[in-house]
């Protein structure tokens, strides 16, 4: 009976986690992971919490306890990085992060003795590297990707460096961030414990969280250390030197993280290799071009490409030359940064990549694409307040007609249909005029 009750607590938690558009498909391994991260009591509490940020008062009501006791529990969950807190007009609010990017990673962003990190890493390896459902769902379930790649800025020509947009530069994102947190790279930490250490021996201390998430992780449980902009630039430079790829949240404004990734440990880059030619993250707006007259055929670019997009092939004159698979190239610039003769130039792609403006924009796009918009808005009450709903409608009104039609179908909202038809009428009127 005890076993059944315990199982039920984790089952409820798994269902709660899958309210997110990016959840975690159930499996025996997932249950074991949840058992490491949450006690049975914590699983029961977490399963009842809403999606959108809530106060201790709200949690007390849900848990039928006092506000004082609820606050203590919430603080404890923040200290385990299972919740993130924030302050709105002096009021402290809490939110449960998704598994990824979220509480899966946070658990390994520092060394800790309260959980068995080796066992957890082995479970993560099984769930993400052996079983494939989680990774496929995370990276390929929606056309709008969770992450995007930043081009390595030192390889841009002076003309490209002039024209690159601010949000395309990792350095700009770091300069603009209110808080920057530095933690241990979850991927390499996991692979080290799971018996597959990083093949290029890349540094571990280069995981950057940004904004409120960085502050919360630093102030609760020390999962990150707050650093200044100069140190953040240093992290970026060390990562360039270690041939790591910069991958951040796929938004223009206030991304929550910038990871510095190696091809052997990072789940996204591993997925790029494994499920090629499907790209797990949005590319940069750049692509490499080899100047054949300058290339000496050394093969360095082939060796460093994190997703194995370059192969050395014999040319007409018997000389080896690099051939780049443009269908899978992420445009990171690691090859150009390593070429000893500067034979690789990064050019602007002919078709520009569209990046969601902010996290709300990304959530709505992904929910529409996955067919879960209605759940997101109504069932989970994630956006069930007027301001948040206005933001969601604003995003939908800015979408192309096909996506608007999909949203309208899922939403079944008379109000949204009216907004959309008045937008169409307005456009028709403008055309007539």
Residue 244 is classified by DSSP as P
Taking the least distance from each CB to ligand SF4, the nearer of 53 and 297 is: 297
Residues 300-329 that bind ligand SF4 (CB under 6 A): 300-301, 322
Residue 178 is classified by DSSP as S
- Under 8 Å between Cβ of 161 and 153: yes
Closest approach, Cβ 269 to ligand SF4, in A, equals: 20
- Under 8 Å between Cβ of 160 and 289: no
Closest approach, Cβ 261 to ligand SF4, in A, equals: 21
- Under 8 Å between Cβ of 313 and 321: yes
Kindly state the number of chain residues that form the binding site for ligand SF4, as judged by CB under 6 A: 14
Q: Which is nearest to 288 in space by CA: 225, 230, 333, 241? A: 333
Taking the least distance from each CB to ligand SF4, the nearer of 15 and 313 is: 313
List 49, 217, 227, 295, residue binding ligand SF4 (CB under 6 A): 295
227 binds ligand SF4 (CB under 6 A): no
- What residue has token string 């099984």? 126
Mask 344-383, x = binds ligand SF4 (CB under 6 A)?
x---------------------------------------
Residues 234-293 that bind ligand SF4 (CB under 6 A): 290
206 binds ligand SF4 (CB under 6 A): no
Taking the least distance from each CB to ligand SF4, the nearer of 155 and 295 is: 295
Closest approach, Cβ 317 to ligand SF4, in A, equals: 14
Closest approach, Cβ 329 to ligand SF4, in A, equals: 13
Q: Which is nearest to 208 in space by CA: 169, 238, 180, 234? A: 180
Taking the least distance from each CB to ligand SF4, the nearer of 34 and 155 is: 155
In Å, how far from its chain's centre is CA 135?
A: 12
Cβ neighbours of residue 17 under 8 Å, at least 6 residues apart? 23, 24, 98, 99
List 297, 378, 380, 381, residue binding ligand SF4 (CB under 6 A): 297
- Under 8 Å between Cβ of 84 and 49: no
Taking the least distance from each CB to ligand SF4, the nearer of 341 and 425 is: 341
Taking the least distance from each CB to ligand SF4, the nearer of 300 and 381 is: 300
In the numeric block, which tokens belong to residue 262? 């190696």
343 binds ligand SF4 (CB under 6 A): yes
Q: What is the DSSP string of 56-98?
A: HHHHHHHHTS-HHHHHHHHHHHHHTTSSEEEEETTEEEEEPPP
Instruction: Calculate the alpha carbon distances from 180 to 97, 188, 327 in Å.
Output: 18, 20, 34
339 binds ligand SF4 (CB under 6 A): yes
Taking the least distance from each CB to ligand SF4, the nearer of 272 and 301 is: 301
| Measured distance between the N- and C-terminal CA atoms of the chain, rounded to whole angstroms | 73
Q: Which residues bind ligand SF4 (CB under 6 A)?
A: 290, 295-301, 322, 338-339, 341, 343-344
């Amino acid at each position: 009976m005890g076993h059944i009750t315990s199982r039920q607590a984790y089952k409820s938690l798994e269902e709660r986690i899958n309210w997110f558009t990016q959840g975690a498909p159930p499996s025996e391994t997932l249950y074991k992971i949840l058992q490491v991260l949450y006690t049975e009591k914590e699983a029961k509490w977490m399963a009842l919490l809403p999606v959108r940020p809530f106060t201790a008062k709200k949690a007390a009501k849900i848990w039928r306890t006092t506000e004082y006791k609820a606050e203590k529990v919430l603080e404890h969950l923040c200290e385990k990085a299972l919740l993130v807190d924030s302050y709105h007009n002096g009021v402290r609010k809490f939110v449960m992060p998704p598994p990824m990017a979220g509480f899966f990673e946070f658990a390994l962003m520092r060394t800790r003795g309260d959980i068995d990190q080796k066992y957890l890493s082995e479970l993560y390896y099984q769930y993400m590297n052996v079983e494939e459902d989680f990774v496929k769902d995370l990276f390929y379930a929606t056309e709008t990707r969770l992450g995007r790649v930043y081009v390595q800025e030192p390889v841009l020509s002076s003309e490209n460096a002039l024209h690159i947009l601010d949000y395309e530069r990792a350095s700009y994102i770091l300069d603009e961030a209110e808080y920057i947190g530095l933690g241990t790279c979850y991927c390499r930490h996991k692979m080290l414990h799971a018996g597959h250490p990083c093949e290029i021996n890349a540094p571990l201390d280069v995981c950057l969280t940004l904004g409120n998430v960085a502050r919360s992780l630093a102030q609760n449980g020390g999962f990150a250390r707050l650093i200044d902009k100069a140190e953040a630039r240093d992290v970026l430079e060390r990562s360039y030197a270690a041939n790591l790829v910069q991958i951040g949240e796929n938004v223009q404004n206030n991304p929550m993280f910038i990871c510095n990734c190696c091809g052997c440990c990072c789940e996204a880059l591993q997925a790029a290799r494994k499920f090629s030619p499907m790209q797990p993250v949005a590319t940069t707006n750049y692509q490499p071009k080899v100047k054949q007259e300058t290339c000496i055929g050394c093969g360095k670019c082939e060796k460093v490409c994190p997703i194995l997009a370059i192969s050395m092939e014999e040319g007409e004159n018997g000389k080896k030359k690099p051939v780049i698979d443009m269908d899978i190239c992420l445009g990171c610039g690691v090859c150009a940064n390593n070429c000893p003769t500067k034979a690789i130039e990064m050019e602007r792609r002919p078709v520009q990549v569209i990046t969601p403006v902010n996290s709300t924009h990304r959530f709505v796009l992904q929910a529409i694409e996955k067919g879960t918009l209605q759940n997101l808005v109504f069932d989970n009450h994630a956006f069930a307040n007027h301001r948040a709903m206005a933001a969601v409608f604003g995003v939908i009104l800015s979408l192309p007609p096909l996506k608007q039609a999909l949203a309208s179908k899922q939403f079944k909202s008379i109000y949204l249909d009216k907004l959309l038809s008045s937008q169409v009428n307005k456009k028709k009127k403008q055309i007539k005029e």
